[in-house]
Amino acid sequence: MGRDAVTRWLFIAIPLLLVMSLSACSSCSGDDHAADSELDGGTGTDTDSDTDADTDTDSDTDTDTDTDADASVFIADAGPWFWEDLPDGGDCGEEGCRQLTFSDNVRFLEWDVWGDFLTYDDEDTHNTNVVNIPENKHLVIPNVYPDFPIGISTGSGHLFPATIYENTVCYSKAVFVSPEFVDIICADFEEEIQSLVYHRQKEGDVYPNPGEYLDVYDGRIVAMGGCGDVLDSWPLCAFDMTAPDTYTEIAPSHYGSHNSMWGDIVVWSSGESDDYNIRGYDFSTSEPFVITEDAPGQISPRMHDNRVVYQDLKFGTGDPMGVWDHSTIFIYDLITEEATQITNSDWTAAYPDINGDIIVWSDYRDCADPNNANNFSCAQIWGYDLATETEFQVTDIPDRAKQTPRIWGDKVFVHMAKTVPDQDAIYMFDLPDGAK
């Protein structure tokens, strides 16, 4: 495993471990929208009709086509598709708050919201869950395959982040018992069917890397890993739900973490070899482009329409693997190609999201050390209205770790510690009246 691979795993593992431990305690300027010559889009096609593992050695510009999926190990229907009533929520801590998940833990960063639906990966069972918010119901899509003892208790399988678009949830699954493989699967919870989008088997002693940081939009999926010519690597790939067993490498030499897609655009945070910058790719033109080119790094992009929000670390002494001191939220306009600073760089602001004119983030201004981003228990969720140029506070709940907020319409969704030690959940908060 190369240096970037180790760094990428630490980038995921360190914040996750911090969340778990702290839950126990408390429960710029932008660059031109120019093409980046280091990134390649896929244009070729390669077809393999055998039933063995794919051993093609395509160039970075190829679209790979494989038909080696073993239908006997894929369960087409999750079934039974029962929408059950959600239990009554626990104490949110303030008015206008509602608990939406009821497993012991929701995996950090591995949840998503679209309209009236929330999807998440249960930390204990690794089942995919879907919550119908207005109807107060939830659906469980089991983490199972026929003939395989899949599940966290056996150590034989693992489910990776679920992402949602309208009535479709997509996720990646890794199976660590013979014949060892990874899949990308999408479930249509209105039609009540699942579809296998991409299947990759182990080759020799090398395991395929699962797809991570998934995002889906209108039949297109992007993922870091789960594809590529070299198994022990994490290229950024796009998958077409209408063309199973194919993929296109978008960024073969840069990791695409925190992928976020809207329309024909996907943005991501690149890896250490690219100095942790925000990059983008336009599927309509098959062209990559640059959003940031600043040291020491920019991370955690999220986009809506033609706007991208992200964390910028240039005002502090930290780095993406450090403490994120003075991390500041910026917004980048894809039309004007201009970046605007949103938060005060005197304290840490992290994990932004945007929907319409509203930006939300995790904010440390009220902490004893406002630049210690590892102290999640003192963080609150704040927001900013681009239309009125007004900042506002969403949560005011002490001693409960809060991070990775999401915004949709006039609702804010927050990964927050419960009042029970070592447990967390997704909670939904109303926006303040002035920001609705």
Confidence of residue 79 (pLDDT cuts 50, 70, 90): confident
> Is the model's pLDDT at 4 over the cut of 80?
no
User: Which residues make beta-bridge pairs with 104?
Assistant: none
Distances (CA, A) of 262 to 66, 137, 221, 328, 331: 27, 27, 11, 23, 15
Would you list the domain boundaries of the chain?
1-31+298-436, 40-92+103-252
C-alpha to C-alpha distance for 200 and 207, rounded to whole angstroms:
9
Of the ranges 41-45, 72-76, 328-332, 405-409, which one carries the lowest mean pLDDT score? 41-45
Q: What is the pLDDT of residue 53?
A: 33
Q: What is the pLDDT of residue 385?
A: 97
Q: What is the pLDDT of residue 317?
A: 85
Dihedral, 122, 241, 226, 178 alpha carbons, nearest 10? 80
If you compute the radius of gyration of the chain from its CA atoms, what whole number of angstroms results?
21
14 vs 193, which has greater pLDDT? 193
Task: Go through the chain and tell me how many residues it has.
Answer: 436
Q: What is the pTM of this model?
A: 0.82
pLDDT in tens, 349-395: 999 999 999 999 999 999 999 998 888 889 999 999 999 999 999 99
pLDDT in tens, 287-344: 999 999 987 799 999 999 999 999 999 999 878 887 899 999 999 999 999 999 999 9
**Can you read off the two tokens belonging to residue 242?**
């209408």
* Mean confidence (pLDDT) of the chain: 81
Confidence of residue 148 (pLDDT cuts 50, 70, 90): low
Q: What percent of the chain has pLDDT over 90?
A: 53
> Is the model's pLDDT at 193 over the cut of 70?
yes
Confidence of residue 282 (pLDDT cuts 50, 70, 90): very high
C-alpha to C-alpha distance for 236 and 227, rounded to whole angstroms:
8
> Is the model's pLDDT at 152 over the cut of 60?
no
Sign of CA dihedral 164, 167, 172, 176: positive
Distances (CA, A) of 241 to 40, 80, 86, 221: 21, 23, 31, 7
Phi, psi of 376 (to 5 degrees): -65, -25
**Can you read off the two tokens belonging to residue 427?**
């909670």
10 vs 146, which has greater pLDDT? 146
Q: What is the pLDDT of residue 123?
A: 78
Range ranked top by mean pLDDT from 26-40, 102-116, 145-159, 384-398 = 384-398
C-alpha to C-alpha distance for 284 and 272, rounded to whole angstroms:
28
Name residue, tokens 């579809």.
Answer: 195
Q: What is the pLDDT of residue 253?
A: 66
Confidence of residue 159 (pLDDT cuts 50, 70, 90): low
Phi, psi of 82 (to 5 degrees): -100, 120
Range ranked top by mean pLDDT from 157-171, 220-234, 418-432 = 418-432
Q: Which residues contact 356 (CB under 8 A, 6 or more apart)?
A: 304, 409
**Can you read off the two tokens belonging to residue 296?**
């020491």
Q: What percent of the chain has pLDDT over 70?
A: 78
31 vs 192, which has greater pLDDT? 192
Q: What is the pLDDT of residue 210?
A: 84
C-alpha to C-alpha distance for 175 and 245, rounded to whole angstroms:
17
> Is the model's pLDDT at 247 over the cut of 70?
yes
C-alpha to C-alpha distance for 238 and 324, rounded to whole angstroms:
30
Ramachandran sector of residue 324 (left: φ over 0; alpha: ψ -120 to 50; beta: rest) = left
Q: What is the pLDDT of residue 43?
A: 34
Name residue, tokens 């929208």.
Answer: 33
Distances (CA, A) of 64 to 14, 43, 48, 237, 347: 33, 10, 9, 11, 46
C-alpha to C-alpha distance for 337 and 329, rounded to whole angstroms:
16
Q: What is the pLDDT of residue 68?
A: 42
pLDDT in tens, 49-62: 333 333 333 333 34
Name residue, tokens 């479930």.
Answer: 187
Name residue, tokens 């710029």.
Answer: 28
> Is the model's pLDDT at 179 over the cut of 50?
yes
- Write down the CATH number for the domain with range 1-31+298-436: 2.120.10.30
Q: What is the pLDDT of residue 225?
A: 87
**418 neighbors 402 (Cβ within 8 angstroms):** no
C-alpha to C-alpha distance for 133 and 83, rounded to whole angstroms:
12
The closest of 1, 69, 66 to 228, measured between CA atoms, is: 66
**Can you read off the two tokens belonging to residue 36?**
């980046």
- Identify the three-state secondary structure at position 245: coil
Confidence of residue 254 (pLDDT cuts 50, 70, 90): low
C-alpha to C-alpha distance for 235 and 257, rounded to whole angstroms:
10
> Is the model's pLDDT at 41 over the cut of 80?
no
The closest of 20, 82, 33, 116 to 423, measured between CA atoms, is: 20
- Identify the three-state secondary structure at position 72: helix
C-alpha to C-alpha distance for 425 and 436, rounded to whole angstroms:
24
> Is the model's pLDDT at 220 over the cut of 50?
yes
Confidence of residue 1 (pLDDT cuts 50, 70, 90): very low
Q: What is the pLDDT of residue 146?
A: 62
Cα Dmax for the chain: 61
Q: What is the pLDDT of residue 358?
A: 98
